[in-house]
């Protein structure tokens, strides 16, 4: 664990990126991830299902590319693929194989894109062999994940009493889903939230009661909440961090092997963050601020004051238990992978989320700054308490640090170069 913390700390040292030449390839990673992002939007997938889909697509992309002469450990499927096979063809075919099976309703679109990708490549046996290898890898990834525990859907029944989340919620099977990269997601489940009678709870309660109160209009707080809200029908929080990664890697013109490695590391971390996040929510099923503030006279804390008319700025109470904030855990995981991969957290970027008011972009000085804002947005929306944001940030950071420190490393030559995992 000390090694992971040391590696994470070194990301603050960073070095500026050199000017990169323009891309001339098919940019298969970007193209096929855009298809995955759209599939999540159209199907209104949950954040957990979205993270799993993104990971499956990018693991297949990575293993297809790495299996053709790469020298890194596989994510799921080891090579070697056929000698002389085209990597671009393999990448496109691998992603196509995953998406056509996870989203068969749009198979015709995926078929057309694959045909167009292959047509743009020089003809011959290299393309044929690459496409065949990629399809094999994609199908193998789908088969491997078929029994990962993500189905059938399970629910936790509604709870009763002070401190307990009141509604039934579905998707709890994800607490036991087979992880993509971490050894044991349970190790990242945090300690219990502050006791209802504690001063710490009263302080967090008071903050959310003011900042998240719909009766106290504040345009900036509302806009920040909306920017990161990412409800059903969006690409979900994991999708925004995938989009940020695609944008930053495209600007730096990463090679196909490097770009596929980055998105595989990122999406595996996001998917494994799901497991620990759902396990935490299931274990503690802590009540949301709306219930907590309206029923504060039942919590046994002499400092908290009930407000039966209180409503969250977000306009809804929340559909899963409060502890921990999933937006916070996903955002911290995404930011941590990107900072560790580039060995620099202070890489500025401009981004507009799916739910950004008016489509207006925001600029950030680095990845952790964006993750911090995403977490705080949940307090501004009256959806979470700050202790849930902080616990979620820690959870995501831990999962991501393990994924980058132990996953997809070189299998010959130095395992690391400089300060960051290679």
pLDDT per residue as tens digits for the range 196-241:
999 999 999 999 999 999 999 999 999 999 999 999 999 999 999 9
Q: Given this structure, which CATH class describes domain 2-421?
A: mainly alpha
Main-chain phi, psi angles of 62, to 5 degrees = -65, -50
pLDDT value for 421? 67
Report the chain's mean pLDDT, rounded to a whole number: 92
pLDDT one-digit tens code per residue, 326-385: 999 999 999 999 999 999 999 999 999 999 999 999 999 999 999 999 999 999 999 999
DSSP designation for 69: T
Task: Evaluate if residue 25 carries a pLDDT over 80.
Answer: no
Check if the beta carbon of residue 141 is closer than 8 Å to that of residue 56. yes
Task: Write out the E strands in 84-233.
Answer: 155-156, 169-170
Taking CA atoms, 10 is separated from 4, 169, 254, 277, 338, in Å, by: 10, 40, 22, 26, 13
pLDDT one-digit tens code per residue, 395-409: 999 999 999 999 999
Residue boundaries of the structural domains of the chain: 2-421
Task: Evaluate if residue 8 carries a pLDDT over 50.
Answer: no
As a whole number of angstroms, the distance between CA 406 and CA 247 comes to 25
Its sign, for the CA torsion 32, 64, 46, 292, is negative
pLDDT value for 414? 60
Task: Evaluate if residue 128 carries a pLDDT over 90.
Answer: yes
Cβ contacts of 231 within 8 Å, gap of 6 or more? 355
**pTM across the whole model:** 0.93
Task: Evaluate if residue 24 carries a pLDDT over 70.
Answer: no
Cα distance from N-terminal residue to C-terminal residue, the chain = 18
Q: What is the mean pLDDT of residues 129-134?
A: 98
Task: Evaluate if residue 314 carries a pLDDT over 60.
Answer: yes
As a whole number of angstroms, the distance between CA 373 and CA 363 comes to 12
As a whole number of angstroms, the distance between CA 241 and CA 168 comes to 29
Task: Evaluate if residue 15 carries a pLDDT over 50.
Answer: no
pLDDT one-digit tens code per residue, 290-303: 999 999 999 999 99
pLDDT value for 413? 67
Task: Evaluate if residue 160 carries a pLDDT over 70.
Answer: yes
* 306: nearest Cα among 405, 92, 162: 162
**% pLDDT > 70, the chain:** 92
pLDDT one-digit tens code per residue, 83-121: 999 999 999 999 999 999 999 999 999 999 999 999 999
Cβ contacts of 182 within 8 Å, gap of 6 or more? 188, 272, 399, 402, 403
pLDDT value for 419? 62
Task: Evaluate if residue 21 carries a pLDDT over 80.
Answer: no
Task: Evaluate if residue 170 carries a pLDDT over 90.
Answer: yes
């Amino acid at each position: 664990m000390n090694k992971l913390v040391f590696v994470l700390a070194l990301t603050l040292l960073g070095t500026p990126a050199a000017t990169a030449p323009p891309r001339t390839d098919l940019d298969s990673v970007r193209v096929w991830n855009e298809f995955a992002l759209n599939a999540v939007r159209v199907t209104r997938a949950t954040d957990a299902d979205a993270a799993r889909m993104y990971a499956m697509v990018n693991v297949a992309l990575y293993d297809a590319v790495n299996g053709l002469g790469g020298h890194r450990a596989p994510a799921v499927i080891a090579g070697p693929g056929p000698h002389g096979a085209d990597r671009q063809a393999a990448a496109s075919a691998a992603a196509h194989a995953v998406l056509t099976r996870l989203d068969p309703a749009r198979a015709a679109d995926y078929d057309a894109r694959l045909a167009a990708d292959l047509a743009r490549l020089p003809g011959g046996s290299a393309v044929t062999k690459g496409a065949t290898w990629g399809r094999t890898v994609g199908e193998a990834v789908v088969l491997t994940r078929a029994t990962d525990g993500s189905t059938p859907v399970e629910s936790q029944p509604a709870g009763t009493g002070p401190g307990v989340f009141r509604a039934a919620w579905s998707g709890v099977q994800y607490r036991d889903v087979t992880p993509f990269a971490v050894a044991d997601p349970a190790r990242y489940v945090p300690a219990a939230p502050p006791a209802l009678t504690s001063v710490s709870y009263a302080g967090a309660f008071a903050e959310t009661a003011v900042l998240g109160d719909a009766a106290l209009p504040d345009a900036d707080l509302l806009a920040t909440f909306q920017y990161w809200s990412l409800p059903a029908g969006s690409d979900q929080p994991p999708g925004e961090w995938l989009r940020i990664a695609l944008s930053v890697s495209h600007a730096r013109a990463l090679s196909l092997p490097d770009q596929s490695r980055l998105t595989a590391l990122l999406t595996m971390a996001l998917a494994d963050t799901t497991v620990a996040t759902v396990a935490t929510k299931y274990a503690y099923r802590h009540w949301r601020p709306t219930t907590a503030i309206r029923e504060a006279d039942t919590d046994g804390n002499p400092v908290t004051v009930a407000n039966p008319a209180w409503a969250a700025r977000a306009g809804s109470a929340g559909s899963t238990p409060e502890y921990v904030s999933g937006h916070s855990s996903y955002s911290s995981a995404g930011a941590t992978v990107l900072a560790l991969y580039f060995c620099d957290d202070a890489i500025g970027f401009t981004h507009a989320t799916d739910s950004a008011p008016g489509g207006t972009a925001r600029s950030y000085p680095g990845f952790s700054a964006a993750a911090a804002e995403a977490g705080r947005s949940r307090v501004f929306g009256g959806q979470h308490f700050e202790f849930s944001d902080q616990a979620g940030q820690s959870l995501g950071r831990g999962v991501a640090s393990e994924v980058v420190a132990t996953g997809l490393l070189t299998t010959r030559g130095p395992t690391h170069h400089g300060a960051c995992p290679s």
